[in-house]
Amino acid sequence: MAEVPANISIELDVRDLDPPEPLQQALAALPLLKPGEQLRMLHHREPFPLYAMLRERGFTYRTTQMDDGSYEVLIWR
């Protein structure tokens, strides 16, 4: 398993947004990530469509379901 960078440089809380806005915001933020940085996205559901797009772009991710039922997705290169 890839080591998760400790530096969160971008935080997106898209829990209140309707599709496709969460996906669009995540993809727009990816070019802003530098090596060693990560994006933290909070989503009200698991963003399955995002995963293949991340892999195609060379990103790694880890998804964790939170106690409130939402999901935290950490994304890094």
Tell me whether residue 1 is in a domain: no
For the entire predicted model, the pTM comes to: 0.90
pLDDT digits (tens, 9 = 90+) for 28-68: 999 999 988 999 999 999 999 999 999 999 999 999 999 99
3 has pLDDT over 80: no
8 has pLDDT over 60: yes
Q: Which domain does 34 fall in, by range?
A: 7-76
Tell me whether residue 16 is in a domain: yes
Contact in structure between 41 and 51 (CB atoms under 8 Å): no
Tell me whether residue 2 is in a domain: no
Number of domains in the chain: 1
Residues 6+ apart with CB under 8 A from 76: 2, 4, 5, 33, 36, 37, 38, 39, 59, 60, 61
Position 76 scores a pLDDT of 96
CATH of the domain at 25: 3.30.110.40
